[in-house]
């Protein structure tokens, strides 16, 4: 009989624990082991902070700010952006599946509004939507996250096109 050993699921007991996990995953150290090595703490010790079992020491909180650029206000309260220093934030990754989905969405919604876009405009419109997702701080990394985001950006696009249709001559592109 063989047993399959599985890691404990990351179910933090506190909101701070969840934000520690989110910050780690968004940093240049996505694995707990790598971040623990970087911070020179035991992996299990870091796990107790992330699970909300133990309070994280102030010195280690300071390292999240100084070394990873994490906004301490966000880390403690959830308010504001995750990263204070954009140069330390991980660069956004453009996922081909998401971009393709955005282009298809742009074509479909514009068609419903009676607009035919030239090829270069399709990509430009999809890029505008992608940048809007990044500005909102929404997760584009996971497949599940991308699936959940497409309806959100579709609604944003529909609202923008409807507003342009309802308010012709306001400098927005007119919808026929």
- Per-residue pLDDT tens digits for 148-174: 788 888 998 999 899 888 887 654 454
Residue 61 and residue 136: Cα distance in Å, rounded?
A: 25
**CATH code matching the domain that covers 15-77, chosen among 3.30.830.10, 2.40.240.20, 1.20.58.220, 1.10.260.40:** 1.10.260.40
Q: Where are the domains of the chain?
A: 15-77, 96-166
108: closest CA among 117, 99, 96, 97? 117
Residue 166 and residue 159: Cα distance in Å, rounded?
A: 10
Q: Model confidence over 73-130: pLDDT tens digits?
A: 999 999 888 888 766 666 666 778 888 889 999 999 999 999 988 888 898 898 888 8
pLDDT reported for residue 132: 79
Q: What is the pTM of this model?
A: 0.50
């Amino acid at each position: 009989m063989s047993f399959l050993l599985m890691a404990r699921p990351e179910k933090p007991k506190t909101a701070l624990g969840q934000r520690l996990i989110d910050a780690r995953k968004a940093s240049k150290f996505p694995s707990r082991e790598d971040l623990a090595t970087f911070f020179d703490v035991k992996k299990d010790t870091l796990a107790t902070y992330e699970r909300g079992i133990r309070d994280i020491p102030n010195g280690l909180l300071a390292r999240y700010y100084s070394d990873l650029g994490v906004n301490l206000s966000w880390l403690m309260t959830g308010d504001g952006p995750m990263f204070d220093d954009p140069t330390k934030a991980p660069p956004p990754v453009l996922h081909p599946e998401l971009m393709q989905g955005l282009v298809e969405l742009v074509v479909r919604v514009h068609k419903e509004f009676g607009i035919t876009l030239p090829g270069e405009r399709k990509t430009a419109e999809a890029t505008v939507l992608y940048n809007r997702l990044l500005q909102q701080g929404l997760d584009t990394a996971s497949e599940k996250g991308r699936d959940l985001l497409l309806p959100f950006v579709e609604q944003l696009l529909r609202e923008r096109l409807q507003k342009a249709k309802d308010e012709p001559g306001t400098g927005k592109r007119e919808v026929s």
